[in-house]
Amino acid sequence: MREIMGTMDGIWPFGPFMFLVFAALIVVPFWVIFAKAGFPRWLSLLMVIPLANLVMLYVFAFSAWPSLERKSGG
């Protein structure tokens, strides 16, 4: 068990950096999608939080999109 844990010591300094990279890979596309749909862009930050991302996807999928309401006139 110690041998396995010892190999993780070298990865630890990159952990926070890798989290930021993966968070950016998730947040940036949703930032654009939410903007095009007419929702506040900050909602894309919820996509990094477990369970909040699932709830937000369902809200996003089944709610009326503000950008489509503006195009149809109401």
- Domain coordinates in residue numbering, the chain: 2-72
Q: Check whether 8 has a pLDDT greater than 80.
A: no
Measured over the CA atoms of residue 42, residue 48, residue 52 and residue 54, the dihedral's sign is positive
pLDDT tens-digit series, residues 11-66: 677 788 888 898 899 999 999 999 988 889 999 999 999 999 999 889 888 988 88
Q: Which residue has the tokens 């506040």?
A: 40
pTM, to two decimals: 0.68
Give the per-residue pLDDT at 18. Answer: 85
Give the per-residue pLDDT at 27. Answer: 93
Over residues 5-10, the mean pLDDT reads 59
